[in-house]
Amino acid sequence: MGFIHWPTLNLVLTVVGAGFILSIQSLYYIKVFFDEYHLPPSYLKIVQILFLVWNAVNDPMMGYMQDLGCCGMKWIMDRRKVVLYAGPVFAASFLLFWFPWSTSVGWLTALHLLVSLFIYDTLLTLVLSAYCGLCVENSRNHQDRVRVIVYGEIFTIIAGLLIYPLETMPHTNEHYWLFQTCCVGVACVSAALMAYSGYHLKVERPVNEDHQLEKFQEGETVVEKKEDTWRNALQVSWQVAKEPRFICLVGAQFFRILRFMANENFLIVFTESLLVNNGFFEKNSGTLGLFYILARSCGSILFLVLWAPTNRFGTQAVIQSLNILSIFNVIFVLYAGMDNITAVAIFIILENAISRCGWQGFYIVVAGEVVDTDMKQNNRKTPFSTIIFTLKALFNKPADQLAPVLVLSLFLEQGGYPQLTVPCQNFYEENFSNSTLPFNSTSIETTTLSGLPSAQQCTNYNHWMFLALAIFPAICAIGESIFVAFDQYWRRHVKGKTGHLGDD
């Protein structure tokens, strides 16, 4: 009994339910729309840009609705009711991706993706912004907040096990119904977990006692003013947005999300191109499924290992240490080269572990510090947790859409992705089955087999895959480190001025 903190466990069930569907959606939606629905790459860019605009509207809107009541629905200000009622609807929206509207009409497939993303992300924002607010408000200090994140990471490892059956089942078009059936089952389980969590949650929203004391000493009655709520929302947003620690938080997490989403969206693409085609793994094998589980679970395991150092040294110090390790990992794989497939496999595991380690958890803890600082510096009666989290999302969520667009535009399309994906797979299978030599990019004959691309085309295809795999994470790690360094400076600056703001 002493090892489990039950209120925390009940709170975390919300993110467990969301984590099941998030782990599948982020990993498979691009692959499914390309391979199963035959979405043209040009349409993906249009969809992602339109979706980016919607993200700029829906995230802060949800924050204002939950913290300031800028709509006629009072229940939406109750975080527990948001999880209870909106959670199962969010789980249902996950199913929109997996039942095609068309597999031959490009614009209709693009519209399917656009509508699915709009509905799915709006409900995702509503539920998870309420959850993030609960994480901060139900946890009063750094250690309590880290415990919430650790519980979440433990269940993230469990959620990652879903990849094994999904990846080992047949992936041909005639067996796509198996994948759809699994998604329906996952949606039902997720809906049940979020409904259970919302029903049993106990919410204790903190109050700034200094604010009340000032009002009492001035002889004022603590009454909310009947102001234009949307004007008030803009004033609050400007107060938060110009705070240095908030800017550093947004900048650092923006680069981390870019990196995480690139690894998440293209893990299967990178692995199949650089490891499966080269014979390191057999497609749809149990070993390949275990590799995906390892790639997606090591980050959570690493976070658990870093629990004690995070409590002792702080989140910023741990983030910087991980980014230094990332740079050494990039140098290692660039030195080894793409023909050293063992080194590539090791790099993929380490890169995914580092990019996934606390990619949300660390920044929930830092955001909690920003919420505390904002409440004290601006003398707020209650913390504006949801506003701060959703305002942060206003600037961070575009990274979700920019990551695949940047990787595609800067790297993968230069090598012919996705047009050469299937032809090069067939080319490598043919050469691998007929060759007695160790299989790598230099051992392929330069002749072109009938109906297949040339060796030069497929080598170039793999070359750009390798550059995307190694260079893009390095750019993101450097950008994140710069903002974290500034945050460390401002944290010390605020602490020195107040003696308590910014403390862990």
Nearest to 241 by CA among 391, 27, 108: 391
CATH code for residues 8-498 = 1.20.1250.20
Highest mean pLDDT among 9-23, 67-81, 464-478: 464-478
Rg of the chain over CA atoms, in angstroms?
24
Predicted structure pTM score: 0.70
Query: What is the per-residue pLDDT across 317-368, written as a single tens digit (0 to 9) for each?
Result: 999 999 999 999 999 999 999 999 999 999 999 999 999 888 877 887 888 7
Q: Is the omega angle on the peptide bond into residue 418 within 30 degrees of 0, that is, cis? A: yes
313-314-315 Cα angle (round to 5): 135
Name which residue leads in pLDDT, 259 or 289. Answer: 259
Residue 211 confidence (pLDDT) above 60: no
Average pLDDT of the chain to the nearest whole number: 80
Mean pLDDT of the 39-47 span: 85
Nearest to 467 by CA among 312, 366, 347, 373: 347
Q: How confident is the model at residue 486 (pLDDT cuts 50, 70, 90)?
A: very high
Mean pLDDT of the 247-275 span: 92
C-alpha distances in angstroms, 395 versus 252, 348, 357, 499? 11, 28, 21, 30
C-alpha distances in angstroms, 112 versus 18, 100, 195? 22, 7, 28
Residue 504 confidence (pLDDT) above 60: no
pLDDT of 212 reads 47
Nearest to 148 by CA among 247, 12, 41, 255: 12
Amino acid in position 106: G
387 Cβ neighbours under 8 A, 6+ residues apart: 60, 63, 64, 66, 67, 68, 233, 236, 237, 240
> Token digits for 2?
């002493």
Domain segments of the chain: what residues? 8-498
Query: What is the per-residue pLDDT across 106-126, written as a single tens digit (0 to 9) for each?
Result: 899 999 999 999 999 889 888
Q: How confident is the model at residue 442 (pLDDT cuts 50, 70, 90)?
A: very low
Nearest to 441 by CA among 415, 466, 411, 462: 462
CB atoms closer than 10 angstroms to residue 468: 24
pLDDT of 88 reads 94
> Token digits for 345?
């496999």
